[in-house]
């Protein structure tokens, strides 16, 4: 991945209905979205010049805005048309697309019902989130200190910026300790997810994944469940507690950025990435490149 800071790259960004030079896509320092996290976004992968499951991502962006009590001032089709044109103008064939919507700077207070809603879309070339050559070796996770809160404390169904504060803290702590990522538990102490990816465990031909009752039910998660069932795996969504991790053979993460990434260990518990990981990675790769 390029080391060029994201505010110093070349190309164009779609901002509030116009294509502007990358360096000119700015917001004011008193934007409500910056101070109060009234921001929603999507992360979308581009394969062969096409956005994988673009409509599903677009629909989730609008649902997230509804959960955050604001209306995106463009139609879904307008955003999708802008996305296609943006990819063309920036010559992105295999990469990443980031639509984002936020409250502007008309008011800085907890209440911001009359603030303007801004929308931007950016895209860039982006290879696999984890090194493809080392993928089957698996990554190492550390159990996070921070936990996913109860579902009645925030609109967890929204892909909103505020939900990622504890994810960033948890990932930094994991990296500082020599791990790749963190496994987050929920407020009950049940397994929830990684910092920005869902988690699956494998025993024989059965996949187990936590019930998405306090964290985002990822689009990649849903895709992998469909693929697994088509491959005659049984998929069980249920409560998973840390004490039973030793009963599973394999573990992997799923997400738009992570795709399907095998896990070799969680703390001291080791896993052996094997047939399930290989089979599902192959199926997923075939699907996104179809």
Which amino acids are annotated catalytic?
A: 159
Contacts of 100 (CB under 8 A, 6+ apart): 39, 40, 41, 42, 119, 120, 121, 122
d(CA 63, CA 101): 12
CA distance 41 to 102: 9
CB 145 within 8 A of CB 22: no
3-class DSSP assignment, residue 240: coil
**What one-character DSSP code corresponds to residue 105?**
S
DSSP string spanning 153-195? SS-TTS-BGGGGHHHHHHHHHHHHTT-SEEEEEETTS-EEEES
Q: Are 250 and 270 in contact (CB under 8 A)?
A: no
């Amino acid at each position: 991945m390029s080391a060029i800071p994201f505010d110093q790259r070349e190309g164009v960004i779609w901002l509030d209905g116009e294509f502007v030079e990358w360096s000119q896509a700015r917001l004011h320092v008193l934007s409500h979205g910056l101070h109060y996290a009234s921001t929603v976004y999507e992360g979308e992968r581009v394969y062969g010049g096409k956005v994988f499951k673009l409509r599903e991502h677009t629909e989730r962006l609008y649902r997230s805005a509804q959960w955050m009590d604001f209306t995106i001032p463009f139609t879904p089709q307008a955003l999708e048309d802008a996305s296609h044109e943006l990819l063309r103008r920036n010559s992105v064939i295999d990469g990443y697309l980031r639509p984002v919507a936020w409250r502007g700077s008309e008011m800085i207070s907890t209440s911001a019902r009359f603030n303007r809603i801004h929308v931007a879309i950016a895209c860039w070339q982006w290879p696999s989130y984890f090194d493809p050559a080392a993928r089957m070796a698996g990554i190492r996770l550390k159990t996070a200190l921070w936990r996913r809160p109860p579902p009645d404390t925030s609109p967890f169904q929204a892909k909103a910026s505020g939900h990622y504060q504890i994810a960033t803290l948890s990932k930094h702590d994991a990296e500082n300790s020599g791990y790749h990522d963190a496994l987050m538990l929920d407020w009950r102490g049940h397994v929830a997810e990684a910092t920005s990816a869902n988690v699956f465990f494998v025993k024989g031909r059965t996949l187990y994944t936590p019930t998405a009752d306090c964290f985002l039910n990822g689009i990649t998660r849903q895709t992998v469940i469909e693929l697994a069932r088509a491959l005659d795996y049984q998929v069980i969504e249920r409560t998973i507690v840390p004490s039973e991790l030793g009963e599973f053979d394999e573990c992997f993460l799923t997400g738009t950025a992570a795709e399907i990434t095998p896990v070799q260990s969680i703390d001291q518990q080791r896993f052996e990435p094997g047939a399930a990981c290989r089979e599902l990675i192959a199926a997923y790769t075939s699907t996104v490149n179809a």
